[in-house]
Structure 1
Amino acid sequence: MNDASPWRRAARLLALAWGVGGVALLLLQAVIRLTPRAVEPLVDGSAGPVHLGLYLLSVLFNGYAEGYRAFQKQFSPRVVVRAFWLAEHPRPVLLLVAPLFCMGHLHATRRRLILAWG
């Protein structure tokens, strides 16, 4: 991102912010919408001890498998790399849909598209 033009640098930073920030906003929306359902068994007391144990095991397993292995080691780095690529190679259409591009839903290899949409 070494460019002499301050406008070009600002445009690149804006592309990065829109791509990564848009993905963060989509994830935040999912967390806000799903949290009430996730804590419902804990709040209303409908789960017995066995259910609570299985609930805890499920949270721990998914925290590792989906949170650490999938999200932290694969998804997040890919979002950032694609955002930097978009900032260096701006295309008007891709800039408009930057969050989808950064998540790998557009302008990706066939395998990436199948994984993203499948």
Structure 2
Amino acid sequence: MEYRDWQILHMLYQEQNITKTAHALYISQPALTKRLRQIEKEFDVQIVQRGPRGVQFTPEGEYLARCADEMLLRLRKIKEHVANMKETVTGTLRLGVSNYFARYQLPRLLKLFHRSILVWS
């Protein structure tokens, strides 16, 4: 399976709706449906059952959706690790802060951080 396939399963499991998933991934609904059929064919299982209120995952589909979460996380970590093997450190900085801190304190701290990086370069 390709990286995009794991993204499709992950997002579809979150949205439980093919149209919303296609919109979120910036692909057409027919293209997503076709890719989903190809994934089902590859694993020789039905992943979802379509209904009037969206999709319901089969047990096999739920397992693949959980695997999608793990695969996407693992692939992101691999990419970050390989990128960090260079002389410079790169990656995504994730912060969990309150709205107040994000609005009033964080901009000043990020500016100081950015200046300090320029000095190190």
Please indicate, yes or no, whether the TM-score normalized by the shorter chain is above 0.5. no
Please, what TM-score do these two structures have when normalized by structure 2? 0.28
Higher helix share: 1
Specify which structure has the bigger relative contact order, considering alpha-carbon pairs within 8 angstroms and separated by 6 or more residues: 1
Which structure's residues are more often strand, by fraction? 2
TM-score by length of 1: 0.28
Computing the radius of gyration from Cα coordinates, the structure with the larger value is 2
